[in-house]
Structure 1
Amino acid sequence: MRADRLLSLLLLLQTRGRMTAQDLADELEVSVRTVYRDVESLGAAGVPVYADRGPTGGYQLLDGYRTRLTGLTSDEAGTLFLAGMPGPAAELGLGSVMAAAQLKLRASLPGELADRADRVRERFHLDAPGWFRGDEPTPHLATVADAVWNGRQVELRYRRWKAPREVTRTLHPLGVVLKAGRWYLVAATATRTTAYRVSNILDAELLDEPAERPGDFELAGFWRDWTERYERSVYTATATVRMTAAALERMGYVFPPEMSRVARAEAGEPDETGWLVTRVPIESVRHGHIELLKLGAEAEVLDPPELRECFVATARGLASTYLPPTSPAEA
């Protein structure tokens, strides 16, 4: 464990430059005293690490010092190749770059680790998009990625869901995200930072003006918060539904995650017949009607009344379609 920690400390200094003992301790999840001992051990082993004193000081490596890629475990070596996504890389125009990087990394590994990496690549494949979803056309993805990478503003003509449908925006690009096979541009205007679906970009022009990037912006954290806010904002209403315990279990497979999550959290205990009452978030009456039809006769809408009426009308329509006409004698 200590050898792994020493290597991690060395790689942190090599990739990030000067770091304080407290920063290193936080990253390595050890005490500051342990960092002091580890730095002394690196120095004794011939690693040129030195300390600058004072409030802006810290540890850093001698300029120009680089360690070779050593100390990889077999699992770590395999994971590096498992993380490669040739499809998205090609969409960004980086397919050949990734292939070249993997070839160089493969050539640098010792025989046993190289064999392990080859086995992982042969046996595991990452397919990011969900089922029954074709590729979205993203002709302007390269322009967007160029703007993000080079820190330049971009002017977009964008199609959105509300009026006016087409808008033009001058944006400060901050990052690109691949979510379930869909590309999104995270960008800022003078008033807000949000995400734009790249397939909805009708035209994109790279501008000469530099983009402004907030010093405290962190892409992964923003995306996590933004997706949570987006999911909450979509479901503006709630349906009270009586359903079987089996239907509640099935919701996790056929419903959007937020709908099934809330339904599980709000579910009461099943009665002696196996039915229970829960709340299900919906976007609208029409959306709730379409989604809850997936549960068939194992669900009964109790509220709101207009949604229940939709199911009454659907049941009558299905009955007239599938049931034989009732004879006067039977009536």
Structure 2
Amino acid sequence: MSAGRLLSVLLLLQSRGRMPARGIADELGVSVRTAYRDLTRLQAAGIPVYAEPGRGGGYQLLDGYRTRLTGMSESEARALFFAGLPGPAADLGLAAEVTSARLKLLAALPAGVREEAARTAAVFHVDAPGWYREPERTPYLPLFVDAVLARRAVDVRYRRWRAPQEVERRLRPYGLVLKSGVWYLVAAAESRVGTYRVARVLDAEPSDERFDRPQDFDLGAYWSAYLDGFETRRYTGAATVRLSPRGRGRLPDNVPPEVVRAVEATARAVGDDGWVEAVIPTESTEHACGELLRLGVDVEVVAPPELRQAMAAAVRALVGVYGNP
């Protein structure tokens, strides 16, 4: 039996009023049988819980009864930051703490304010991951949460893009960032601070080493600078393209925002039919070819020659697949 769960049942009844056993069970993630058992134990402990039979009935507290046991634990207070983000809270291993902290907050509010808070919570929902992508598996994320808070170094085996792909590092975690549904760890390794995609950590083990995070380190400022530098590192080339009005309209759904902004900044008309010519940043010939092919006949590559040739080769290959014998 969990004393914490019994307190959660009590606070749930205090903040919500009458609730069926099924509703209590669903809210706390337990079976209906467990909910009935917890309600019986509350009654045995002298808590004035009574059942209202019939349709629309359920369990509720005697009018006027309120508990003062609303003190929050350290982990629950920490979880308040994620109270509106159930997905990320679950990733971090804080789902239970978020539920408990939310119940304690609601129980401590006056009735009118509590109802307004409940109405507000019911009309906002955050879904961090982007479209067309499964959420990444991050089994070591809770470990990194503990390491960040305890300032404990972690030994990891990490898979990166360049060779050698698998490397071993001792990381001193400074913070965690959630970007478009993807978790990143910002950590010091050797003499520099770097960014690591948590889903690419193949193995992680806490070390005995403790460290002090620099007092002047600002996670938000670091991340903004990292994103600015990422674009510079990512786009190493440029291409001149021509776009039809339809192709220009389809850009936001097919290419990154940086490419869309480049078109808006450099587009110039090349005739009376609405076509424009613009200069866009590119990562590589292969990558640019794959992105631009999504626009079909609504885009023409003017330069560089190697990208135009790659597009032509891809189109010839498609003709070979779909053309008539």
Query: TM over 0.5: same fold?
Result: yes
Q: Distance in 1 between matches of 2:269 and 2:117?
A: 49
1:219-272 CA-to-partner distances (Å, cap 9, x unmatched) read 111111112211221111111101123322321222112222222222224631
Task: Please report how far the alpha carbon of residue 82 of structure 1 lies from its aligned counterpart in structure 2 after TM superposition.
Answer: 9.4
Structure 1 residue aligned with 2:144: 144
Partner of 2:262: helix, strand, or coil? helix
Task: Please report how far the alpha carbon of residue 310 of structure 1 lies from its aligned counterpart in structure 2 after TM superposition.
Answer: 1.7
Q: Which letter maps to 1:235? A: Y
CA RMSD of aligned residues (A): 1.9
1:148-176 CA-to-partner distances (Å, cap 9, x unmatched) read 01111111111111111111111211001
Partner of 1:302: helix, strand, or coil? strand
Structure 2 residue aligned with 1:221: 221
Question: How many corresponding residue pairs?
Answer: 246
1:28-85 CA-to-partner distances (Å, cap 9, x unmatched) read xxxxxxxxxxxxxxxxxxxxxxxxxxxxxxxxxxxxxxxxxxxxxxxxxxxx999611
Q: Which letter maps to 2:163? A: A
Confirm whether residue 210 of structure 1 aligns to residue 210 of structure 2: yes
Partner of 2:294: helix, strand, or coil? helix
Confirm whether residue 292 of structure 1 aligns to residue 292 of structure 2: yes
Is this contact kept in 2: 1:194–1:226, CA < 8 A? Answer: no
Structure 2 residue aligned with 1:173: 173
Structure 2 residue aligned with 1:182: 182
Structure 2 residue aligned with 1:279: 279
Confirm whether residue 153 of structure 1 aligns to residue 153 of structure 2: yes
Confirm whether residue 231 of structure 1 aligns to residue 231 of structure 2: yes
Is this contact kept in 1: 2:83–2:102, CA < 8 A? Answer: no
Structure 2 residue aligned with 1:196: 196
Structure 2 residue aligned with 1:311: 311
Q: Distance in 1 between matches of 2:166 and 2:153?
A: 19
Structure 1 residue aligned with 2:59: none
Q: Which letter maps to 1:297? A: V
**Equivalence map 1:58-137=2 (5 Å):** 84-137=84-137
Is this contact kept in 2: 1:153–1:172, CA < 8 A? Answer: yes
Q: Which runs of 5+ in 1 are unaligned?
A: 1-79, 326-331
1:180-206 CA-to-partner distances (Å, cap 9, x unmatched) read 111111001232111100111111111
Task: Please report how far the alpha carbon of residue 307 of structure 1 lies from its aligned counterpart in structure 2 after TM superposition.
Answer: 1.0
Deviates more, 1:243-252 or 1:302-311: 243-252
Q: Distance in 2 between matches of 1:116 and 1:274?
A: 52
Partner of 1:172: helix, strand, or coil? strand
Q: Which runs of 5+ in 2 are unaligned?
A: 1-79
Assess, with a 3 A threshold, how the Cα gap between structure 1 residues 323 and 160 changes in structure 2: closer, same or farther.
closer
Q: Which letter maps to 2:262? A: V
Is this contact kept in 2: 1:175–1:185, CA < 8 A? Answer: yes
Identity over aligned pairs, percent: 46
Structure 1 residue aligned with 2:242: 242
Structure 1 residue aligned with 2:14: none
Task: Please report how far the alpha carbon of residue 318 of structure 1 lies from its aligned counterpart in structure 2 after TM superposition.
Answer: 3.4
Structure 1 residue aligned with 2:252: 252
Q: Distance in 2 between matches of 1:195 and 1:82?
A: 22
Deviates more, 1:297-306 or 1:313-322: 313-322
Partner of 1:313: helix, strand, or coil? helix
Partner of 1:178: helix, strand, or coil? strand
Assess, with a 3 A threshold, how the Cα gap between structure 1 residues 137 and 321 changes in structure 2: closer, same or farther.
closer
Q: Distance in 1 between matches of 2:224 and 2:310?
A: 36
Q: Distance in 2 between matches of 1:159 and 1:254?
A: 28
